[in-house]
Amino acid sequence: MEATQCCGIAGLMSDPALAKDELWRRIAVAIPYLWLLVFFLAPFAIILKISLADPVLALPPYSPSFDSDGSPAMSLNNFSFLLSDKLYAITYLRSVAMALVTTLLCLLLGFPMAYGIARASTATRNLLLLLIVLPFWISFLLRVYAWMGLLNNYGVVNNLLIWLGVIDQPLQIMYTDFATAIGLVYSYLPFMILPLYASLERMDLDLVDAAQDLGATRSRAFWDITWPLAKPGTIAGCLLVFIPAMGEYVIPYLLGGPDSLFIGRVLFDEFYSNRDWPLASAVAIVLLMLLVVPIVLLQRAQARNKEQSA
């Protein structure tokens, strides 16, 4: 292979002799970079700072990080409180568990769907994909609201079951973890299907047929040929569901009820109801630490995907 060429317009601009064009390159990098530093990165530093403060009855409601004589006045009170209070531990665990269950269900439902779409003819495929994406363009809040109508005691599901004679009394589905799970799977299913589809699209149907022709059973053909192809998409899809699902607020609130123990909800409540900014910040920091590993994995997986398809 001929040595790869330098990067086109931008590569040339790094030649010292072309300093004038170098200015444009610097500007093009600087503007988004600065924006992100200020509005994405700096806020995390601030959360950290506030998580090390104490709540005060003032505006803003947290103690300054440095005393008037300049010495640091930070403490780990909030973190030790979090670690000692069993309720928080339970909440974090429940959030992880719910996120895992959601991811699993999305995978179980989404994988066959993505597979089916990838196997369809090109014309059908585009229509099917469009139908997957269409709900995504409709307000997420309204879609969750739709489930409220379906699942409550006078809702469609209960009415149907009573009409069918399966039950006499309406089932309490709303305000349960089950309802939360349904809502989560419903909202995040496209995030699982799309990356999976992108991986499976490259599948060569002839390979699978050839394998079976040579005597492989259906499941062997799947594991040896289809799965390696689908792996990057699966990883991406799982992480794209798991990470945001961990911190979900709206769905647990509306479908699980205002008292359901999920970390997104707890954070919101500490912040608004209790006005305890430092504690809310600490909750956020711990959540972030739990998510750091999946986030890094996702970025690595995405980088690998780009290399593969290039």
Partner 1 sequence: MTHFIRIKGISKRFGDFTAVDNVDLDIEQGELFSILGGSGCGKTTLLRMLAGFEIPSSGKIEIDGVDVTHQAPYDRPVNMMFQSYAVFPHMNVAKNVAYGLRKEGVRRTETTKRVDEMLELVQLTELKHRKPDQLSGGQRQRVALARALIKRPKVLLLDEPLAALDKKLRERTQFELMNIQDELGITFVVVTHDQEEAMTLSGRIAVMDKGQFQQVGTPKEIYEFPNNRFVADFIGTINTFEGVVTVVGDEEIQVYSDEAGESLTALGRQLVEVGQTIEIAVRPEKIFVSKDKPDNDDVCIEGVVDDLGYLGNRSLYRIRLGSGKIVQVSSQNRRRSVRRFLEWEDKVWLSWRPRSAVVLLD
Partner 2 sequence: MKSQSRFILSVLSFGYAFLYIPLISVVVYSFNDSRLATVWGGFSTRWYGELFRNEQIIDALLLSLKIAVTSATLATLLGTMSGFVLARFGRFKGRTLFSGMITSPMVMPEVITGLSLLLLFVTLQQLTGWPGQRGFSTITIAHTTFSMAYVAVIVQSRLVAMDESLEEAAMDLGGRPLRVVFDITLPLIAPAMIAGWLLSFTLSLDDLVIASFVSGPGSTTLPMLIFSKVKLGVSPDINALASIIIAAVSLGVAIAWLITRRKPAAS
> Which stretch in 81-89, 199-207, 223-231, 302-310 sits in contact with partner 2 by CB under 8 A?
302-310
Q: Which of 88, 147, 188, 197: binder of partner 2 (CB under 8 A)?
A: 147
Q: What share of the chain is helix, strand, coil (3-state, %, to 5)?
A: 75, 0, 25
Instruction: Give me the residues paired with residue 215 across strands.
Output: none
Give the orientation angle of helix 77-84 with respect to helix 86-119, to 10 degrees: 80
> 3-state class of 62 per DSSP?
strand
Question: How many other C-beta atoms can be found within 10 angstroms of the C-beta atom of residue 25?
Answer: 15
Residue 6 in the binding site for partner 1 (CB under 8 A)? yes
Q: Give the one entry of partner 1, partner 2, none that residue 4 binds, where binding means its C-beta sits below a cut-off of 5 to 8 angstroms depending on kind.
A: partner 1
Question: Is residue 4 part of the contact set for partner 1 (CB under 8 A)?
Answer: yes
Residue 72's SS3 state is strand
Q: Write down how long the chain is.
A: 310
Tokens of 299: 């970025």
The binder of partner 2 chosen from 145, 178, 207, 216 (CB under 8 A):
145
Stretch that binds partner 1, among 3-11, 55-63, 64-72, 88-96 (CB under 8 A): 3-11
Name which of partner 2, partner 1, none residue 2 binds, using a CB cut-off of 5 to 8 Å depending on partner kind: partner 1
Q: Which does 15 bind (CB under 5 to 8 A by kind): partner 2, partner 1, none?
A: partner 1
Binding mask 63-102 for partner 2 (x = CB under 8 A): ----------------------------------------
Place of tokens 């050839």: 210
Cβ 147 to partner 2, closest distance in Å? 5
Cα gap 225→248, rounded to integer Å: 36
Asked whether position 243 contacts partner 2 by CB under 8 A, the answer is yes
* Residue (of 310, 73, 71) closest to 62 by Cα position: 73
Residue ranges binding partner 1 (CB under 8 A): 1-6, 12, 15, 17-18
